[in-house]
Amino acid sequence: MNIGIVGSGNVGSTLGKAWARRGHKILFSYSRDPKKLESLATLAGPNTRAGSPAEAVQFGEVILFAPPWPSVDHALKAAGPLSGKILIDCTNPLKQDLGGLEIGHTTSAAEEIAKKTPGARIVKAFNMTGAENMASPHFGAEQATMFICGDDAAAKTAVARLTQELGFEAVDAGPLQAARLLEPLAMLWIHLAYAQKMGSGIGFKLLRR
């Protein structure tokens, strides 16, 4: 699958490299330093290359959207129209001091991004664990759960497959509105990892009876 990455930092670079190792074609984009993207693509191997956000959108059947929250509007403008594309939204609307979310309860980053990207098939995913766990979500014999949500069933199936290829157990949390629950879950992960000093080697697991 061709995957365009808009935001090639901790999350975008980790996921892009991991998918490239599994045979997907990756275009890394969105940095203040284009040389950084070129080096990333060189290190990540022959399945990857660097380009602009608009090129990433043109290239990708799936777009991984992973800019910091304050850069979302800027990144969307650089990306251009996203109609028809599967857009994986990894963002969390974090306050600058990481002490909470800027929006929540009555909306979510995913829903706000959806309003700005008419026709995009948005799936919230990869927001509730640290980037360091995304390429290796096995904890001993356990697989971390990746909750996903969105309003387009086929897009969710495609994104679930991409999470499963990395080793996550994908769990469909329902419509995009469920991002109102998944974004605070990221806040819980941040709180446990840093304020509670558990470290970043933690993940969530859904248990069933």
- Chain contacts with ligand NAP (rule: CB under 6 A): 7-12, 30-33, 36, 66-69, 71, 74, 90-92, 94, 127, 130-131
How far apart CA 53 and CA 71 sit, in angstroms, is: 13
Smallest gap, in angstroms, from Cβ of residue 181 to ligand NAP?
Answer: 15
Helices 34-44, 10-21: axis angle to 10 degrees equals 30
Judged by CB, which is closer to ligand NAP: 11, or 79? 11
d(CA 146, CA 173): 10
Residue type, 11: V
Residue among 1 and 193 whose Cβ is closer to ligand NAP: 193
Residue closer to ligand NAP by CB (options 12, 150) is 12
CB nearer to ligand NAP: pick between 102 and 142: 102
Looking at beta carbons only, is 47 or 53 nearer to ligand NAP?
Answer: 53
- Residue 76 Cβ vs ligand NAP, minimum distance, rounded to whole Å: 12
| Least separation in angstroms between CB 174 and ligand NAP | 20
- Closest CB 209 distance from ligand NAP, rounded Å: 29
Residue with tokens 């499963």: 164
Three-state secondary-structure class, residue 80: coil
Cβ-proximal residue to ligand NAP, closest one: 9
To 5 degrees, how large is the angle CA 19–CA 20–CA 23? 95
CB of 20 to ligand NAP, least distance (A): 16
Instruction: Assign 3-class secondary structure to 144-192.
Output: CEEEEEECCHHHHHHHHHHHHHHCCEEEECCCHHHHHHHHHHHHHHHHH
